[in-house]
Amino acid sequence: MRLLRDVNNGLGYSPEVSPRDADVIRAIGDEGLSVFTFDGLRRITRSHPETLSRILDRLEDSGLVVRTPEGYSVTEKAMKVLGPRQTASATHSVPILHTFLPYEASAEKIVAALKGRWLDNIRWVGMADGEDGIVMKWVTDDGGAIVDAKFSAGQLDIEAKVADDSDLPKAVRAAHQLVGRMSRLYASPRPGSRTALMRIGHSMPYAM
């Protein structure tokens, strides 16, 4: 296990880091999260709450994560441990939606409105803000699908990471819910008029 060897050899961390601890670090790295919630990570790793709590306590004591008002944040030490992107997991990514945001839309406004929100069958995980855009993440109740919404250069891309195609329908419904929530942010006050988001238009590579 490369990640565990990196933790134990040459980076100055405790050699007592367990495989479960390493699995949690890897899950954080695979999702590219800079801020994540306890509940979201629990669903992704399918860990027992008490087990995950103990793991995060150990990682916090080791300086790999810190608690923030929005959840947990990965430290620079953790990023060194994670190193390059890990090898592909058992999940595969499926593009669900690509759309242009309204010209007057503010990605920051949308992010602020959606951050921390639970929608029907998906639970908030966390987000990352990088040079190539802002990524927001949700996970389905059973942890079978992770839904990514990426805002970049006035565009929105939503994709799902699933281990099995049977998990995809929930992710597709979640994508439609996210678009509906965003559209209402820019809804016209005129009765019966269409929203600004839908006037720009969007494509659904995969639809129910």
Going by C-alpha positions, the residue among 179, 164, 182, 175 that lies closest to residue 206 is 175
111 and 151 assigned to the same domain: yes
pLDDT at 78: 74
115 and 53 assigned to the same domain: no
Spacing of C-alpha 131 from chain mean position: 16
78 and 96 assigned to the same domain: no
110 and 42 assigned to the same domain: no
Instruction: Specify the CATH number for the domain of residue 198.
Output: 3.30.310.50
Within a domain: residue 208?
Answer: no
Q: Please, what's the largest Cα pairwise distance for the chain? A: 64
7 and 101 assigned to the same domain: no
> In the Cβ-directed half-sphere of 14, how many Cα atoms lie within 13 Å?
13
pLDDT at 192: 45
Within a domain: residue 117?
Answer: yes
34 and 105 assigned to the same domain: no
116 and 163 assigned to the same domain: yes
How far apart (Å, rounded) are the C-alpha atoms in residues 115 and 70? Answer: 10
Tally of structural domains, the chain: 2
Spacing of C-alpha 44 from chain mean position: 10
Q: Which amino acid is at 85?
A: R
Looking at 82, 102, 127, the residue that finishes a domain is 82
Spacing of C-alpha 187 from chain mean position: 26
Measured at the CA of 175, the angle between CA 169 and CA 177, to 5 degrees, comes to: 105
Q: Which amino acid is at 154?
A: G
181 and 109 assigned to the same domain: yes
Within a domain: residue 196?
Answer: yes
Token pair of 54 as six digits:
């103990």
Q: Which amino acid is at 200?
A: I
pLDDT at 88: 44
189 and 97 assigned to the same domain: yes
pLDDT at 128: 86
Enumerate residues 6+ apart whose C-beta is below 8 A from 52. 24, 38, 41, 42, 45
Looking at 52, 82, 112, the residue that finishes a domain is 82
Kindly list the averaged pLDDT for each block of 10 residues, start to end, along the chain of length 208: 37 55 78 83 88 91 86 79 55 87 81 86 87 90 90 92 87 87 68 41 47
72 and 131 assigned to the same domain: no
113 and 61 assigned to the same domain: no
Q: Are 149 and 156 in contact (CB under 8 A)?
A: yes
pLDDT at 83: 62
115 and 182 assigned to the same domain: yes
pLDDT at 17: 58
Within a domain: residue 143?
Answer: yes
Tell me which residue range forms the domain holding 107. 92-203
Looking at 49, 64, 82, the residue that finishes a domain is 82
pLDDT at 8: 42
Tell me which DSSP letter residue 150 carries.
E
pLDDT at 1: 32
pLDDT at 136: 92
Instruction: Specify the CATH number for the domain of residue 23.
Output: 1.10.10.10
